[in-house]
Structure 1
Amino acid sequence: MKVIILGAGVIGVTTAYYLAKQGAEVVVIDRQREAGLETSFANAGELSYGMSSPWAAPGIPKKALKWMLMRYRPLTIWPLLSTTMWSWGLQMLRNCNEASYRINKSRMVRISGYSREALTDLMAEVPIQFDQRELGTLQLFRSEKQVISSKVDQEILEEFGSPFRVLDREGCIDAEPGLKHVSEKFVGGLQLTSDRTGDCRKFTTALASEAEKLGVQFRYNETIKGLRHEASGISAVMTENGEVEGDKFVCCLGPFSAVLLRKLGIRLPIYPVKGYSITLPVMDGDAAPQSTIMDESFKVALTRLGDRIRVAGQAEIIGYNKSLGKHATDAVRHVVNDLFPKGGDQSKIEGWTGLRPMTPDGTPILGRTKFNNLFLNTGHGTLGWTMACGSGRAVADLVAEKEPDISFDGLEASRYA
């Protein structure tokens, strides 16, 4: 069986690896020169098993209006003349209720919990180093109102068996000693103890090397133009260098999945939500974060990756725009300077921007399509790194006609029919 994987980000590479392990002949096609150079390149670095929640939640519309008025705003919406953007936004608003939130959350937790197990197994199989740590995520609260609001999250975490600890100011400092320098700026926190951290780009390139050892062929610098289909299904991928034939095909193109598959009559509600990050070298290890801190006020994550600090956040709805303007990273710069002013060398900041493939209900789109040999592994939003190993292994099993370990109920594109 020859399987063609579209996309060499962390989703495409994990899918390729798990298929190769099952004996498939695998070809991965990507327009970049190496694996992991788009959304996987410089994300927050957090493996957020405990924080796998949809953005569409009760109260979010009201909060969104408040965020857009902040100086260092977590959310910016550009009113584009785009029916795709407004349709996606309306679908998201329809999911901002308690019933939808619980359904979507349960689907996301199903994937992320399985992904934690899959990554644990994978790390035992292959010697991959990616600056990984297992110290959890600290959700930091700057006000008592945020502490009170977190009780709803605690109930949901208990319901789905996600371990956590409620911390006062001193507890936060015990978990993240670097915060002792700014103790007056927060009142408490919620620690998700099962979360991990790690460099997604390092993981992706290392796993790509392991996949090559299993016989996976990577065709880089090759732009995908479309898919050739016949009555029996998809027969080939059309690229700028010609056609690549296969028996089965898996689309792992993130925000570009919707663009490609629209030509086949497959309409996926995936929209590119732009995010930003900065990376800076650690200057004082004791004054830097040890794991991941999520600043609840600014929706910015700060993560320790070896001798570097990654600071990521913001949500900008502006279509397929990847420009990095002069003040684009002001919000993430502000947060690292506010919480860890002595931790990193801010004279050596590297900025980055990427497009998150967001669905309106937060859940990725996995599994079958109307073509019997075309499969999906896309739409993971901000949780592609978190869910990569789980969704990659589950989709690989489905493609290989092996019973997956998790149910695909509510995960396939048919839920939008």
Structure 2
Amino acid sequence: MRVCVLGAGVVGLTSAYYLAKKGFQVTVIDRQPGVGLETSFANAGQISPGYSAPWAAPGVPFKAIKWLMQKHAPLKISAEPEIKKLAWMSKMLANCTEKAYDVNKSRMVALAEYSRDQFIQLRKDIGIKYDDGQGGLTQLFRKDEQVEASEKDIKVLKALNVPHQVLTPAQILEVEPGLAPVIDKFKGGLRLTGDETGDCYLFCLSLKETCESLGVEFQFNSSIQSLSVQGQKINGVVTELGLQAFDTILVCLGSYSKELLKACDIDIPVYPVKGYSLTVPISDANFAPISTVMDETYKVAVTRLGGRIRAAGTAELTGYNLDLPKSRTETITHVVSDLFGAGCHLSEAEYWTGLRPMTPDGTPVVGASGVNGLYLNTGHGTLGWTMSCGSAAVIADIMAGDKAQINANDLSFERYKK
């Protein structure tokens, strides 16, 4: 069966790999000149199943109002009125309840844990290297109320048997000694021992070679114009080359999935949430992170990638704007300077921005679309890297007619029709 995967980011690429492993004849189409050149290019470097949680949570609406008044705030909302943005925000607010949070977090952690297991298996199967590390993730709490609020997440982690450790400041130093100069700023921490790190772009480059060895074909510099539906069945995709016929199509276009699908009367609630990152060489490893730390006050992740530090954060609701103003990178720069300023030369930092495809409940959309032959694997938000292998394995099972290894019913588009 001829399958077309739309999108060559980490979600599309892993999907192509798992589909090819099942014997499908796979073609990947992307507008960029290579793999992983948009949202996958310079993300936070975290593979963090233990940290998987929806942004929609009790108390977030009040926090959001407070954040809008802060200089180094984790959330920015552009002042321009936009119907799509307001509609998405209203749906997100509807998920800010205890009941919705527990359901959504359980779904997300289950998929992310499965995905981490797939990463482990992938390294065994093909020996893939991507500056990967298995040193866990440490959440840093600057305030007593953050320590108290973590109890809710710990409850979910226990229920799902996710390995974790509650840390005192002294115990934080045992896993991240580079924080010694600033440890007095923290009240405690939570370590997610099963979380991993790695360079998503390097992963994409390496996995592309494996995909090609399995017969996957790539069409780069190819603009996707529309989907072609005949009757109630998908029959191809239209690019600047015209109509290309395929038996099945899988949409993995992240934030750009929504507009393409609207022509098929499929309205997925995905909105682009802009994020920023910096990458800087390490100058003194004694004052650099060992793995990943997440500063909960600023919602900025700082990760060790070989001889580099990668920091990423900030959520900005501003449509498809990809400008990179200095004012928007100040928060991640501040956090790196505050935590590991003695371990790097920030003057050498390289900055980047990308659009995370976010659903209002935080869970990606993985499964059939309702149109015969058209499938979806999109809407992973800030967790595309974390969930990529898991959601790809799930969609490959679904498309092959096999039973998925985890409960995939609540991942599908159908949950928004209920």
Letter in structure 1 aligned against 2:285: G
* Cα distance in 2 for residues equivalent to 1:208 and 1:230: 32
Classify the secondary structure of the residue corresponding to 1:340.
helix
Structure 2 contact 314–331 (Cα < 8 Å) conserved: yes
* Cα distance in 1 for residues equivalent to 2:73 and 2:287: 25
Partner of 1:118: 118
* Cα distance in 2 for residues equivalent to 1:394 and 1:75: 32
TM-score, scaled to structure 1: 0.99
Deviations 1:156-207 (A, max 9, x none): 1111111111111111111101000112221211101110011111111111
* Cα distance in 2 for residues equivalent to 1:67 and 1:300: 14
* Cα distance in 2 for residues equivalent to 1:325 and 1:123: 38
* Cα distance in 2 for residues equivalent to 1:403 and 1:97: 32
Letter in structure 2 aligned against 1:288: A
Partner of 2:268: 268
* Cα distance in 2 for residues equivalent to 1:183 and 1:277: 24
Aligned runs of 1:10-409 on 2, under 5 Å? 10-409=10-409
Classify the secondary structure of the residue corresponding to 2:402.
coil
1:128: Cα distance to partner? 1.0
Structure 2 contact 45–305 (Cα < 8 Å) conserved: yes
Partner of 1:414: 414
* Cα distance in 1 for residues equivalent to 2:206 and 2:82: 39
* Cα distance in 2 for residues equivalent to 1:391 and 1:275: 22
Structure 2 contact 106–156 (Cα < 8 Å) conserved: no
Letter in structure 2 aligned against 1:274: K
Structure 2 contact 21–214 (Cα < 8 Å) conserved: yes
Letter in structure 1 aligned against 2:308: R
* Cα distance in 1 for residues equivalent to 2:279 and 2:196: 18
Higher mean displacement: 190-199 or 66-75: 66-75
Classify the secondary structure of the residue corresponding to 1:117.
helix
Structure 2 contact 356–382 (Cα < 8 Å) conserved: yes
* Cα distance in 1 for residues equivalent to 2:2 and 2:263: 23
* Cα distance in 2 for residues equivalent to 1:202 and 1:19: 21
Classify the secondary structure of the residue corresponding to 2:327.
coil
What root-mean-square deviation, in Å, do the aligned CA atoms of Structure 1 and Structure 2 show? 0.9
* Cα distance in 2 for residues equivalent to 1:81 and 1:183: 42
Classify the secondary structure of the residue corresponding to 2:363.
coil
Give the total of aligned pairs: 417
* Cα distance in 2 for residues equivalent to 1:51 and 1:400: 31
1:326: Cα distance to partner? 2.6
1:98: Cα distance to partner? 0.5
* Cα distance in 2 for residues equivalent to 1:79 and 1:233: 41
* Cα distance in 2 for residues equivalent to 1:80 and 1:185: 37
- Please, which runs of 5 or more residues in structure 1 have no aligned partner? none
Deviations 1:68-89 (A, max 9, x none): 1111111111133221111110
Classify the secondary structure of the residue corresponding to 2:353.
strand
* Cα distance in 1 for residues equivalent to 2:94 and 2:79: 19
Letter in structure 2 aligned against 1:191: R
Classify the secondary structure of the residue corresponding to 1:277.
strand
1:232: Cα distance to partner? 4.3
After TM superposition, the runs of 4+ consecutive aligned structure 1 residues lying more than 3 A away are none
1:221: Cα distance to partner? 0.5
* Cα distance in 2 for residues equivalent to 1:316 and 1:351: 16
Structure 2 contact 130–198 (Cα < 8 Å) conserved: yes
* Cα distance in 1 for residues equivalent to 2:232 and 2:183: 64
1:322: Cα distance to partner? 0.6
1:118: Cα distance to partner? 1.1
Q: Report the CA distance shift for 1:145/1:232 in structure 2 as closer, same or farther (over 3 A).
A: closer
Partner of 2:7: 7
Report percent identity of matched pairs: 49
- Please, which runs of 5 or more residues in structure 2 have no aligned partner? none
1:143: Cα distance to partner? 1.7
* Cα distance in 1 for residues equivalent to 2:129 and 2:237: 33
1:370: Cα distance to partner? 1.5
1:415: Cα distance to partner? 1.1
Classify the secondary structure of the residue corresponding to 2:280.
strand
Deviations 1:106-146 (A, max 9, x none): 11122111111111111100021111111110000112221
1:243: Cα distance to partner? 2.0
Letter in structure 1 aligned against 2:104: N
Classify the secondary structure of the residue corresponding to 1:265.
coil
Letter in structure 2 aligned against 1:115: S
Classify the secondary structure of the residue corresponding to 2:51.
coil
* Cα distance in 2 for residues equivalent to 1:151 and 1:391: 28
1:315: Cα distance to partner? 0.4
Classify the secondary structure of the residue corresponding to 2:70.
coil
1:148: Cα distance to partner? 1.6
Classify the secondary structure of the residue corresponding to 2:208.
helix
Structure 2 contact 28–218 (Cα < 8 Å) conserved: yes
